[in-house]
Structure 1
Amino acid sequence: MLSHGSVLLFCLVIGALPVLAQAPQGWVDNPTAVPILRTIRAIPVSSDQEAESQDVARESLMSLALPGWGQHEQGKNRKWFFAVLEVAAWAFFWEREAAGARLRDRYRDFAWAEARFHPVARADADFDYYETLTKWTRSGAFDANPARSGVQPETDGTSFNGSIWELAVNMFLASGGSGEGDPDHVRVLEFYKERAYGPGFLWDWSGLPDGQQRLAGLISESDDRFRQATTMIGVVIANHVISAVDAFLVARGASSLGLLEFEPRRGPRGIGWSAQFTLLLGS
């Protein structure tokens, strides 16, 4: 998921370009000469300045939409840097997404083949379900006595469903037991039915001691691939923003934008990437 900071930066650049386009020529090379925005709005604008401002905004927005486009209009060779980075980032994003999806299929297949019961047709569940499989050896039964009418909850607290029943009893029947049909008992049973896993999602790792560890490893690998894909979305956004700022500064007379450096880094969940951008302003 993208951070709020990335989205805010993207919106600020879009909103700022039309305003900054009205700034006087040379402010980029002399930052100390930049007045407050209300002073900029008071500067008379000639027809030539207005046309130049329109070109500045147009080229900036072109690069914001497609990195390198504005630089192409300006005849700058660094258009290739932005274009190649855009293609590479999207290629890496789709490769990581596909790898994450393949690993997700693998851990779902593994759980179905090694731990889940097969009384009904296979139905895959959400991510939380597979996380639960890595933490609980057994699900326990959903209905402990199918011969009786209604649902007879699992009472073994060492199983997942049994722990749900114990939690419900402690929450709603803390003052003492109550018989079937009692409003409190009905509430406990409804709580259990909503949260316990039903017949199509029961499991037991007892026959495969290392099964949970193997499942957890596959889930972690899948998560890492999806996380790397999300990181690439951040790189794409940064590329659009930096390309737009570069086109804007070049149109305003800047000789150079700055330095953009990427380097790999090892974090607590594996290899990632960090980026550092140094903006060069002034003479």
Structure 2
Amino acid sequence: MSRRVARWLPSVAVATTLLAGASRAQHPPPLDGNPPLGSLWHFLSDSSRARWVRPTASLVLPGTGQLLGGSERGALYLVAEALLLTRFFSLQHDGTRDAGEYRNLAFSVARGAFSPEVRDTAFEYFEAMAKYIESGPFDMDPGPDLVPPWDERTFNGRIWLLARQTFFADPDSIPAPNSWEYLQALDFYRRRAVGPNFRWSWRGAALEQDLYRQTIRSSDQAFRRARDQLGLLLANHLLSAIDALISTRLRGGAGPAGPSAGVRLGRARLHADPYLLVTLQATF
């Protein structure tokens, strides 16, 4: 069984369960033909409260407002919710797994020779590790004065170049060490350069750095797609609530006859990833 098929099996199982439950929920067991007085179902199915109960119920859990009104399309909202939630948690899992892999490469390969202690830091630091072969030394002078590196192939050398371009009239001409320009450039460098405790180097480990780049890119894409799923989840809640509101007002809180608003689900493919299309339709 392929990983893609296995990834969607939980969604199918959840969707099947929701469909079965939704079918039963539309016709709850009555007591003498009516819901038990004082029960939650009696409260929710009261037509006098339908104008606000059903949209609110759909906003909390998509599809419930439609099911309370006797509309089978509520099951579609529930299935969409299950699929989107499953996709969200799957992407979060993939992003977290890949994040652990690229951090392990960073700590064991690139930083292993300089700092055996594992010290986590901002994501921008790990992004810089993917772009530069090494951080370079923080200070070229063993004495008390700070002397930044000039090798622009390294991260720190690039930061020092940016500091010179920002504060010096000529980046290749160094002003007096006690001048305002030089002191400002040093401060700029000191606040942005990688210190000795976070120094790294991929020299002699080109394959590992290439794997690192692929893994950090994969992790970042998974987290961004997970955020996209949150947007789709929010849209599903809002669409279901609006659908329930329109349907309830058009029908005056009555049953499923008359004008209706509905939802249509579909699948589309953008690049290599499938996306769920949710289209709201109103019939007057």
Question: Are 2:135 and 1:131 equivalent residues in the alignment?
Answer: no
Correspondence for 1:234: 231
Written as runs of structure 1 = structure 2, the 5 A alignment for 1:1-283 is 55-116=50-111, 117-119=113-115, 121-145=117-141, 147-175=142-170, 176-251=173-248, 252-253=250-251, 254-267=258-271, 270-282=272-284
TM-score (norm 1): 0.72
Looking at structure 2, the residues matched to 259 and 132 of structure 1 have their Cα atoms a distance apart, in angstroms, of 45
AA in 2 matched with 1:271:
D
Deviation of residue 204 (structure 1)? 1.4
CA distance in structure 2 between the aligned counterparts of 1:165 and 1:227, rounded to whole angstroms: 32
Provide the TM-score with structure 2 as the length reference: 0.72
- Does the 8 Å contact 1:110/1:215 carry over to 2? yes
Identity, in percent, stands at 30
Does the residue aligned with 2:174 lie in a helix, a strand or coil?
Answer: coil
- Root-mean-square deviation (CA), in Å? 2.3
Q: How far apart in 1 are the matches of 2:95 and 2:60?
A: 28
Deviation string for 1:203-257 (max 9, x for gaps)? 1112112233211110121122212212221221122122112222332234442
Does the aligned pair in 1 maintain the 2:107–2:116 contact within 8 Å?
no
Distance 1:53 1:219 in 2: 55
Question: Is the contact between residue 236 and residue 278 of structure 2 (CA under 8 Å) also seen in structure 1?
Answer: no
Larger relative contact order (Cα-Cα within 8 Å, sequence gap ≥ 6) = 1
Distance 1:228 1:169, change over 3 A: closer
Aligned letter for 2:84?
A
Structure 1 stretches of 5 or more lacking a match?
1-50
1:261 to 1:76, Cα distance in 2 relative to 1, 3 A: closer
Runs of 4+ in 1 over 4 A off after TM superposition: 51-54
- Alpha-carbon distance in structure 2 between the residues aligned to 1:120 and 1:212: 18
Residue identity in the other structure for 2:78: A
Q: 1:111 deviation in Å?
A: 1.5
1:74 maps to a residue whose letter is G
Gaps of at least 5 residues in structure 2 are 1-45, 252-257
For residues 129 and 279 of structure 1, do their structure 2 counterparts lie closer, same or farther at Cα, with a shift above 3 Å needed? same
Q: Give SS of 1:257's match.
A: strand
Amino acid across the alignment from 1:262:
G
CA distance in 1, matches of 2:65, 2:239: 12
- Post-superposition offset of 1:161: 0.6
